[in-house]
A and B are shown apart, each in its own frame.
Chain A
Amino acid sequence: MANDGPAPLERFLNGILPENPVYRQLLGMCPTLAVTGNMKAAMTMSAAVMFVMICANLITSSIRHLLKPHLRILVFVLTIATFVTIADRVLAAYLYQMSKELGPYIPLIIVNCIIICRCEVCASRQGLGAAAFDAVGQSIGFALALASIATVREILGAGTWFGITLLSESWWPVWGIMVLPPGAFITLGFLLGGVNWLSMPRGKKSAGCGVR
């Protein structure tokens, strides 16, 4: 497979908004909805995903000439599972309470489609530079998406941000639903709609449904 495809810098920038994994590709919805109840959990998840994505992309890219087409997904999953297990053990050793809070969602990074998608779309076709920039860009995009949802949910649902009290309970009736699963769906829906609306061409914003 030849080294074709977008340049490293383009890969990096694409990951942040034009091809944002959550807002544009709608991948990785499970952690997006599940661990965005507060910023600390969302950022720990983002860091774990970034670590796994960078390692998986680098390994896949460096062995891309050896991959057999019908065995490639197996190799991707094997690689991803290894780094996820490492991330899971490191969290259990150094951030024990956070590891308990995230529970099965760290092992579930193994089946996070964002990472398999990057291995397939970028790392198995392009060199190390593009693969590394792609992984960093996509994971920053993922982290920003999680941060946007977690910010809304933590502030409205608990009155705090990163555990710092912003809205005093004396005058802010916390919206308990925002930290529960329905709050995740509501927030994601509104933010997704907002991002689509903002990125529509000017002058067409009244044209009804914002399907791209």
Chain B
Amino acid sequence: MKDSYLGQAWLVLSLALVFGAALAGVQAGLSGRIADNKLNETYDQIPYLLDLIDDDGNVTVEITVKIWRTPDDKLAYQAVDPNGQAVGWVIKGVGPGFQDRIELLIGLDPEAETITGLFVLDQKETPALGNRILEDWFREQFVGKDATKGVVVTRASPVAADNEVGAISGATISSLAVGDIVNAAVKDFRARKGDLELKD
């Protein structure tokens, strides 16, 4: 018994079980609160993503937010002005980055034809390289891009075509990942835009 695998590894195995259970408990207890934090941040970012902030940092259009659900249970946030006119959409894009999952918020015009903003909700990319996807200059490149065609992330500098976005030097994979996540989320949303259901 002493020399068998179990005899050697029982402590590691039982610790792994106990710790795993403890982490599951922590996750169950806190995940609601963490999700609320992300939702609040999403609400805070909507005016920026839809370009409703003037140079002095004031909101130019008071908006209310309607939450819609796609058939596959993804959420889309629609901003509506006081006259009931749609101002734009904010959708979430999630996908693998270089290190870990990247979560993005993407702002679109009311027809979902033009990208109006990009915000990084969550990322764990390499500090000083991949995490430069947080920087304004990189994110602002996506603004005004044609959502029907999608963006192309390129290492060429300066960028040649209208729908091209310059990659961060030293962080090509993170840059490409952001482009892919944006394209996939926008394409998916455009395909399902007709089947949205208002979430209660």
Contacts and interface: CB of A to CB of B under 8 A. Distances in A.
Interface residues on A, range: 20 to 34
Nearest to B32: A93
A49 B170 CA distance: 30
Query: Which 5 pairs between the two chains have the least Cβ-Cβ distance?
Result: A82-B19, A96-B37, A93-B33, A93-B30, A104-B124
Which of B27, B34, B41 has its CB near the most chain A CB atoms (within 10 A)?
A: B34
Interface in A83-115: 85-86, 89-90, 92-94, 96, 100, 103-105, 107
Contacts of A94: 33
B12 interface: yes
A90 B30 contact: yes
Given A79-B15, A92-B34, A96-B41, A107 B124 contact: yes
Contacts of B22: 82, 86
Interface of A: 34, 63, 66-68, 71, 74-75, 78-79, 82, 85-86, 89-90, 92-94, 96, 100, 103-105, 107, 181
A137 to B, nearest CB: 26
B23 A85 contact: yes
Given A82-B23, A89-B27, A90-B30, A104 B127 contact: yes
A82 B19 CA distance: 6
Given A103-B127, A107-B124, A93 B11 contact: no
The majority secondary structure among interface residues of chain A is: helix
Contacts of A89: 26-27, 30, 34
A93 B37 contact: yes
A88 to B, nearest CB: 10
Contact of B124 (A66, A68, A103): A103
Interface residues of B, number: 25
Contacts of B26: 85-86, 89-90
Nearest to B38: A96
Interface string B123-141: 1111110010000000000
B169 interface: no
Given A86-B26, A89-B27, A103-B127, A63 B11 contact: yes
Given A89-B27, A103-B131, A75 B41 contact: no
A113 B182 CA distance: 38
Contacts of A103: 123-124, 127, 131
Given A78-B19, A89-B26, A68 B34 contact: no
Given A85-B23, A86-B22, A104-B124, A92 B11 contact: no
B171 to A, nearest CB: 14
24 contacts: A66-B11, A71-B8, A71-B12, A78-B15, A82-B19, A82-B22, A82-B23, A89-B26, A89-B30, A90-B30, A92-B30, A92-B34, A93-B30, A93-B33, A93-B34, A94-B33, A96-B37, A96-B41, A103-B123, A103-B124, A104-B99, A104-B125, A104-B126, A104-B127
